[in-house]
C-alpha cells in the first residue's frame, strides 16, 4: 500500500475544532485527509464517516446529490459527541474523477441515471477502492467504528480490512426535486439502505 502519513494540524470549523491528518497516495498521485475530534485511539468505538470527495456537493452546494449534506451532518454528529473521525477520500464521482463526473452529469441531463451514466462512459457503477483506508486506520489506531453510512459496501470493505464495525448508523438527509432519481438509483442499483 502506498498511502503514507504526512502531517497533522488544527482545523477550526463551524462545528468545532478538528485535527486534520494528511495522507499521500504516491501510486495514485492523490492526497487524502482524516478529520478527528477527541481521542480516537483509546480503543473505544469511534463515531466515523467514510466520505468520498464530491466537489460539486461538498463545496459548490449542488442539489444533484446528498453528499454535502451528509458531510455536514457527520461533522455535526461528531461535534455533538465530542469525538469521532471523518475519512475524506479523494475518489470523486464514485472513483471516476471530476471531469468524467461532468460527462456523467451531461448523460444524466439526457435521461440516464447515475449508474447508467458511469457505465456509458466505460466505468463500473462504483470504482472506489476502500483498501486505501487501512494505513489511515492503522496510523490513528481506530480499529472499532460506529460508521455513519447508508452504503453496506463500506461496512463490508471495513470488515475485510479487519475493522470491527460495532454499529452502522443511517445518515439521511432531505431529498429535493434535483436528487430524487439519484437517491432512488442508489437504493435500487447500488444497495444503499434508506430506512
Question: Average pLDDT in the 164-176 region?
Answer: 86
What is the C-alpha to C-alpha distance for residues 35 and 83, in angstroms, rounded to an integer? 10
The model's pTM is 0.91
Superfamily grouping for domain 3-91+128-190:
GTP cyclohydrolase II (3.40.50.10990)
What is the C-alpha to C-alpha distance for residues 114 and 158, in angstroms, rounded to an integer? 24
Q: Are 130 and 161 in contact (CB under 8 A)?
A: yes
**pLDDT given for residue 93 in this prediction:** 87
Distances (CA, A) of 189 to 17, 58, 126, 165: 37, 23, 11, 24
Which of the four pLDDT bands, split at 50, 70 and 90, describes residue 193?
A: low
Q: Which residues are catalytic?
A: 126, 128
- Give, rounded to a whole angstrom, the gap between the first and last alpha carbons of the chain: 35
Which of the four pLDDT bands, split at 50, 70 and 90, describes residue 8?
A: very high
Distances (CA, A) of 23 to 85, 96, 170: 14, 20, 27
Which of the four pLDDT bands, split at 50, 70 and 90, describes residue 55?
A: very high
What is the C-alpha to C-alpha distance for residues 160 and 133, in angstroms, rounded to an integer? 11
Percent residues over pLDDT 70 in the chain: 89
Amino acid at each position: 500500500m502506498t498511502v503514507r502519513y504526512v502531517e497533522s494540524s488544527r482545523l477550526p470549523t463551524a462545528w468545532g475544532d478538528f485535527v486534520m491528518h494528511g495522507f499521500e497516495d504516491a501510486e495514485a498521485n492523490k492526497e487524502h485527509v482524516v478529520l478527528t475530534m477527541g481521542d480516537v485511539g483509546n480503543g473505544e468505538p469511534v463515531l466515523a464517516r467514510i466520505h468520498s470527495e464530491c466537489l460539486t456537493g461538498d463545496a459548490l452546494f449542488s442539489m444533484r446529490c446528498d453528499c454535502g449534506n451528509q458531510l455536514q451532518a457527520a461533522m455535526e454528529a461528531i461535534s455533538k459527541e465530542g469525538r469521532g473521525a471523518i475519512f475524506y477520500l479523494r475518489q470523486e464521482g464514485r472513483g471516476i474523477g471530476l471531469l468524467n463526473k461532468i460527462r456523467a452529469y451531461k448523460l444524466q441531463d439526457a435521461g440516464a441515471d447515475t449508474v447508467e451514466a458511469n457505465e456509458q462512459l466505460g466505468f463500473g457503477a462504483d470504482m472506489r477502492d476502500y483498501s486505501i483506508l487501512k494505513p489511515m486506520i492503522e496510523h490513528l489506531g481506530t480499529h472499532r467504528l460506529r460508521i455513519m453510512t447508508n452504503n453496506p459496501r463500506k461496512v463490508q470493505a471495513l470488515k475485510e480490512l479487519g475493522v470491527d464495525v460495532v454499529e452502522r448508523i443511517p445518515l439521511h438527509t432531505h431529498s429535493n426535486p434535483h436528487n430524487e432519481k439519484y437517491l432512488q438509483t442508489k437504493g435500487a442499483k447500488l444497495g444503499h439502505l434508506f430506512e
